[in-house]
Structure 1
Amino acid sequence: MTDLLVGGEWAAASGGARFQTVNPADGTVITECAEAAPADTGWTPTCAAPAPRAPNW
């Protein structure tokens, strides 16, 4: 199971929705991921701003 990676930290989606990632070759479920909602985008400017200054950018 995978949550959202926000600013280097794992966080659950605000709405709690999840979706399955399926292997297209055989239809088996690979994992279940958090489904971001519009409310989850408020952190975007805060987390993205330092990225270009990161040494591994």
Structure 2
Amino acid sequence: MLAPLNEEGVDPMTGQRQARIKARAAKLHREVEGLKALRKPAQRGQEQIVQRLGIT
């Protein structure tokens, strides 16, 4: 279900919701950077690292 929009046609998110979204984005960014760090020295592709770590 979509949230009601304000006068500008934008969903006015609550501070709590914004904080949750920013925290999730930061977590995903750290995970991506971590996988990049693993791949680089090993010279492996993303699929190879994911398979080896058992990530689905």
TM (norm. structure 2) is: 0.30
Q: Relative to total residues, which structure has the larger helix share, 1 or 2?
A: 2
Higher relative contact order (CA 8 A, sep 6+): 1
What's the TM-score once normalised by structure 1's chain length?
A: 0.30
Structure with the higher fraction of residues in strand conformation? 1
